[in-house]
Homo-oligomer: A and B are copies of this chain.
Amino acid sequence: MIIRMSRAPHHPTRDQIELPLLLDCLSDPIRLAIVYSLAKQEQPAEMRCGDFNALSGKSNLAYHFARLREAGLIQTRIAGTTRFMRLRRDDLELRFPGLLDSIIAAAARDAERLQLPDCEIVTEG
């Protein structure tokens, strides 16, 4: 599980998404919470990094975002000084049909136990 964090977001192509890496990514409570929040989001289903500040410190979140990107779970779009992330739903569904949905459903069942955010995230405005 080599992680290359430096230089360029390096999103893997759909075919490069690896099952063990994906599962490992979602086995971390913070990353699961991030993915869960993105999954519950309405269209266009984009969120900023700052929306997750309640979960951990900024530098720690940057680490988790990088892992989620490397695993192919999220994609990052840079707009000015903020980055917008969205779940790669279509790619994941094509690569492993039904997998993401069943994991999200499992997480939803344990929302309290996993202390998942209620997803009514205030966009401070």
Contacts and interface: CB of A to CB of B under 8 A. Distances in A.
Contacts of A23: 23-24, 26-27, 32, 103
B20 A29 contact: yes
Interface residues of A, number: 26
Interface string A81-122: 000000000000000111101110111011001100000000
Nearest to A114: B19
Contact of A110 (B19, B105, B110): B19
16 contacts: A18-B113, A20-B27, A20-B28, A21-B27, A22-B27, A23-B26, A23-B27, A24-B27, A27-B27, A96-B105, A97-B102, A98-B105, A99-B105, A99-B106, A101-B102, A102-B102
